[in-house]
Amino acid sequence: DRIGQAAGRPAPRVVEADIRDRTAIHDLMERSQFDAVMHFAGLKSVSDSVSRPAEYFDVNVGGLVTVIQAMKSNGVRKLVFSSSATVYDLGAGQGAIREDAPFGPNNPYGQSKLMAEQVLQAQEAAAPDWSVGILRYFNPAGAHPSGLIGECPADPPDNLLPYIAQVAAGQRQYLGIFGDDWDTPDGTGVRDYVHITDLARGHLASLDALERDGHGHVVNLGTGRGLSVQDVRRAYEHACGREIPFRILPRRPGDVASCYCDTQRARDVLGFEARQDVDAICASSWKWVRHLYPEVSPS
C-alpha cells in the first residue's frame, strides 16, 4: 500500500510465495502474462552466507532456476537480474572496477551470485530469443524520499548505512568502524554508495534496453565515486543533526580497502548515471528512520 501511496498510483498486486516453490511460481507466471521479470528475491548477507552456505545456493541459484523454468513454460523471455559487485576479485586492489574485471568472490553469497549469472548466460546462449540484463550493484543505500519505504533489517545490520541509522535513532550506542589502517585517504574503508532510487531507475533503464536491443547486457550500477566510512558517518551527522559516536574495531574478515565502479558501460548501454549524492542518501535514510521509530525526536 505504501508503494502505491509513494507512487501516487494504485498499490501493486502482491502474491506471497517462496521463490523455490515451483508450483506457486509457475501458477503465478501462467496466470499473469508477464512481459518481463525483475528478479530480486535472494539472500544477501556475506557473513550469514559463510555460516549457512547451502541456504544461499538453494535460494539464490535454485530460486533463480525455478523462475527460469516458469518463464520458459509461459513464454516470458526478458529478465532483469539483481547481481552484485561481490562477484569480482575485490582484493585485486584495482581502481574503478569495470565489467571485465576478474571474477573472484570470496564468500558463498558472492559465489551464489556468480553462479546465478552463469546460469543466466547459459540460458541466453540456449535461447537466443531471451534477453537478460545482469546488474551488478555496488553499495545500495538510502530510502525512498517519501519516507514511506526503506529497509528495516530484522537482525543486527551487516551494512554501514542501516547500522549508522540505528545509532542515530538511539537503537545502538555507537558505530564500530572495522579498521582505520586501510590504504585509503583516511584509513577507513572506501565504497561506492548508490541511492536506492537511482538503482531503481537503473532497472527501468535496463528493461528499456532489453526491449530496444533484443539482447542482454551486464552493467555495474554505482556512482563511480568512493566514500570512506568517516565520510558517510559525517554526512549522516549532518543529515540528522546529532552526533554519531564511533569506536575503531579490528578489521572484519573478507573486507577490502576500497571498492567503487567504473560507470562508462552504464552510461553507454543504459544511458544511466547516478544523480543522488551521499547527503541525499543520508537525508532519505533519516526520514525513513523517523517513520520506523516515531518516538525518535527530529533533529
Positions that interact with ligand WQD (CB under 6 A): 44, 46, 84, 86, 137, 139, 158-160, 163, 176-178, 189, 191, 229, 252, 255, 259
Largest CA distance in the chain: 56
Using alpha carbons only, what angle is made at residue 49 by residues 179 and 245, rounded to the nearest 5 degrees? 30
Given the residues 56, 88, 109, 137, select the one marked as catalytic: 109
* CB of 253 vs ligand WQD, minimal distance in Å: 10
Burial class (CB in 10 A: 0-12, 13-18, 19+), 271: exposed
* CB of 66 vs ligand WQD, minimal distance in Å: 20
108 or 216, CB closer to ligand WQD? 108
7 or 43, CB closer to ligand WQD? 43
113 touches 83 (CB < 8 A) = yes
How far does CA 283 lie from the centroid of its chain?
A: 19
Report the candidate in 137, 118, 149 with the shortest Cα–Cα distance to residue 198.
Answer: 137
- Let me know if 137 is a catalytic residue: no
21 touches 62 (CB < 8 A) = no
88 or 272, CB closer to ligand WQD? 88
76 or 96, CB closer to ligand WQD? 96
* CB of 34 vs ligand WQD, minimal distance in Å: 24
Cell of 121: 548466460
* CB of 2 vs ligand WQD, minimal distance in Å: 23
- What residue is closest to ligand WQD based on CB? 189
Active-site amino acid positions: 109
